[in-house]
Structure 1
Amino acid sequence: MTWLLGTERLILEPFTEDLIEKTAELAGDPEVAATTFLPHPYTIEHAKEWIASHASWMEEKKAFPFAVKQKKDGGLLGTMTLRIDEAHQKGELAYWIGRPFWGQGYGSEAARRVVRFGLEDIGLHRIWAAAISDNPASTRVMQKAGLTYEGTLKEDMLHGGEFKDIDVYGLVRGSQRRSM
């Protein structure tokens, strides 16, 4: 089955091998690594292995890693991935956008579309996402996608040699927010 989603400015579709180099270039930016959970340096091998895993993940409905592309020219902007936890009918939204495209609303636009896909097409009950607390841009993406703040995991991840707080956001189908 082919998975293709669209928005006003974006196409979200499976990654293909021709995107390996651009993926490594965008994900390998030190500023992208500083604000995400990506390894650094992020190499061509990382991109190749990651993209090679996608077909089986999507076929088994374990994860839907979408290449976020501009409609106007097909250029790769980043990824918006939905990882599925079938047993609990929930999905984790994970994403990054290449630094040249920051601040233009692409992440929020893609996140809204993937959240809708998860709730309506996959039938998930809950979607959640996490971001390093000192990444306000990622927090805005989650908020604009309809997720609300649920809590902070103190010093939860060792990132770049220091422990970082992680903010967790979530959305339950059919409700704006439930008390946790």
Structure 2
Amino acid sequence: MKTPILETQRLLLRPMTVQDAEKAFANWTHDPDVAKFMCWKMHQNVEDTRQWLLSEEAALDSDFIYHWGFVLKETGELIGSAGLSFREEKGIYELAYNLMKKYWNKGLATEASQAIIEFGKTTLHQTAFFGCHVKDNPASGTVLTKVGFHYEHDGEYYCDNQERNLETKEYILKVDNKE
């Protein structure tokens, strides 16, 4: 299924393309304060971001990966991204997001996550979702709990491209799909 456009009160969530590389690089993929909480290495140049977006474009029609860029309606600015990716070992989709530092603590990640979970529930007919965050990033845990996730346990996430383990907190969201 093609990744659809979603809309919230303040955001337009749309598939990202390679044309977004310069904005994404300038706004979050090159920011060490964003990257330190993620499993990907901080992008060193726009070409790193282009390569990432080429892989995202290749997955646009996938049934296992859905990825959106966050566009602020008020300004048209691309300020972050999020996705649902199927975690085969868990049998459910994982919600992940990252956001330009300037927009942290403004409720935008929560707003986007609510729309993405609603898509997963109504369109993908999912009854559970997985989420995790690096222990050093409790604000991300706040986003997860605000959209209904419940803490399950501490975990560890091995990042191939960083050759390190990240200590995480893991969450599950169970939803009733009987509407």
When normalised by structure 1's length, the TM-score is 0.85
Residue 43 of structure 1: which of 42, 45, 49 is its match? 45
Partner residue, 1:110: 112
Closer, same or farther: CA 55–104 of 1 in aligned 2, 3 Å = same
Partner residue, 1:147: 149
Paired amino acid for 2:143: V
Q: Percent of pairs identical after alignment?
A: 26
Tell me, what secondary structure is at the counterpart of 2:70?
strand
User: What is the CA deviation profile of residues 18-63 of structure 1, one whole-angstrom value per residue up to 9, with x for unaligned ones?
Assistant: 2101112211101111222221244322221221122332312221
Closer, same or farther: CA 142–42 of 1 in aligned 2, 3 Å = farther
Partner residue, 2:75: 73
Tell me, what secondary structure is at the counterpart of 1:40?
coil
**Structure 1 unaligned regions, length at least 5:** 176-180
Query: Relative contact order (alpha carbons < 8 A, sep ≥ 6): 1 or 2 greater?
Result: 2
Partner residue, 2:5: 4
Deviating more after overlay: 55-64 vs 99-108: 55-64
Q: How many residue pairs align between the two structures?
A: 174
Closer, same or farther: CA 28–117 of 1 in aligned 2, 3 Å = same
RMSD value, Cα: 2.5
Paired amino acid for 1:23: A
**Structure 2 unaligned regions, length at least 5:** none
Mapped partners of 2:91, 2:164: distance in 1: 33
